[in-house]
Amino acid sequence: MAPAAVEGDRSKTAVFAIVLLAIALVLVGLISLSVGAAGLPLRNVVAALWAGPQGQGVPAGEALIIWQIRLPRILLGMLIGASLAVAGAVLQGLFRNPLADPGLVGVSSGAALGAVSVIVFGPGILAPVLVATGIFALPLAAFLGGLISTILLYSIATRRGRTSVATMLLAGIALAAFAAAGTGLLVYVASEQQLREITFWSLGALSGASWSKLAASGPIMALVLIAAPVLGRGLNAIVLGEAEAYHLGVNAQLLKKLAIFLVAAATGAAVAVSGVIGFVGIVVPHLLRLAIGPDHRALLPACALLGAILLLVADMIARIIVAPAELPIGIVTAFLGAPFFLWLLLRNRGIVDL
């Protein structure tokens, strides 16, 4: 088959997949709103959404559950899943390697260290900063932590436009270990109340979701999701090599700076409200590359949709499996993602041929 015909078939497959994922996201979102300690019929969920926050014609208890507890949690979960998946896809395009993931290469750990620093030092030496930045203090600190980690990782792993996979993974392990050591030090000096908040970050959870947290981090993640597809053409070119990208008219240096900034912003905003949730950024892009191909112009929006779906499903499992208690969602994504990562490693070594 001619290359143009293959490209046309892939474009049709990508459009079909994106439409299908958008429909699936709406359905999973509605199901997620109905699932929990108090199960609600889907028709009641739709009626409560239609009635609005005042809930006229809907039982007051159900309107309260939908609008004050579950809806901010679902929206936050969608944004976090989409942001982590898109950050993973951008990192993999930037490093030209499918093993790059914000959680695995230390970016999430750096963001968590930034957030934990605000928790511990916020009442003391960072009090003026906290007063000046208000509800944005935590997302900003997480963003700075993620940005520093991403820049260090890229600087260490890339030489003359080439990225060593082994160096990237080892540097990621070292950065994650350093961030974990910093977090451990902060745990040592933290008060009991701060210790409980830090535990929340280390396990990853959506249980603390609220409209105020959505208002603080949601716009940052939404802007990243809107801006990321602009990098699609440039990432396609940089995957071929920086010299080839230059001949195609792509400013590789500017593209790398934008990519690093978006990855840090997406990861920092997500970690600021949910803690460290791993493996979404590696599982989602890899599955979609198998289904719709490597074109980042389609891959990035598809990653946003599938990442949102995956995190909502993981959140439902976390709420159901030990009900009426609740598992931290980071444990669920680790159980789902770690075997996939091992399979991916073996496949890349040629041990598994699937």
Residue ranges covered by each domain of the chain = 10-347
Closest CA to 272 of 180, 170, 91, 144: 144
Question: Is 10-347 a CATH 3.30.470.10 domain?
Answer: no
Spatial contact of 71 and 33, defined as CB atoms under 8 Å apart: yes
The per-residue pLDDT for range 160-176, each reduced to its tens digit, is 766 666 677 788 888 88
Q: What is the mean pLDDT of residues 230-234?
A: 88
- Give the Cα separation of 175 and 168 in Å (integer): 10
Cα(228)–Cα(87) distance, integer angstroms: 9
What is residue 75's predicted lDDT score, i.e. its pLDDT?
94
Mean predicted confidence (pLDDT) in 222-250: 85
Alpha carbon dihedral 299, 301, 304, 306, in 10-degree steps, equals -60
Average pLDDT over residues 136-152: 83
Coil vs helix vs strand at 135: helix
The burial of 89, by beta-carbon neighbours within 10 Å (0-12 exposed, 13-18 middle, 19 or more buried), is given as buried
> Quick check: 127 pLDDT over 50?
yes
Q: What is the pLDDT of residues 177-216, one digit of tens each?
A: 888 898 888 888 888 888 877 776 677 778 778 888 888 8
Which residues, 6 or more positions from 198, have their beta carbon under 8 angstroms from its beta carbon? Answer: 116, 119, 120, 183, 186, 187, 190
Cis peptide before 128 (omega within 30 of 0): no
Confidence of residue 30 (pLDDT cuts 50, 70, 90): very high
3 state SS of 162: strand
Which pLDDT does position 134 carry in this prediction? Answer: 74
List all residues 6 or more positions away from 167 whose beta carbon is below 8 Å from its beta carbon. 156, 157
C-alpha 158/C-alpha 86 separation (Å) is 21
Backbone angles phi, psi at 228, to 5 degrees: -55, -45
How many angstroms separate the CA atoms of 83 and 106, rounded? 16
Q: What is the pLDDT of residue 9?
A: 66
- Return the number of other C-beta atoms located less than 10 Å from residue 103's C-beta: 28
Q: What is the DSSP letter of 65?
A: I
pTM: 0.85
**Angle made by CA atoms 272, 224, 337, in degrees to the nearest 5:** 60
> Distance between CA 188 and CA 184 in Å, rounded?
6
Q: Which residues contact 213 (CB under 8 A, 6 or more apart)?
A: 72, 76, 273
Beta bridge partners of 162: 159
Which tens digit of pLDDT belongs to each residue from 277-303? 888 888 899 889 888 888 899 999 999
The three-state secondary structure class of 241 is coil
Task: Write out pLDDT tens, residues 299-352.
Answer: 999 999 999 999 999 999 988 887 777 888 888 888 888 887 777 777 766 544
Crossing angle of helices 296-320 and 232-239, rounded to 10°: 100
First to last CA, the chain: 24
Dig out the tokens for 141 from the structure.
Answer: 């600190």
206: DSSP letter: S
Q: What is the mean pLDDT of residues 251-266?
A: 83
- 178 or 244, which is more confident? 178
pLDDT confidence of residue 351: 43
**Contact indicator for 215, 135 with CB cutoff of 8 Å:** yes
Residues facing residue 158 across a β-bridge? 163
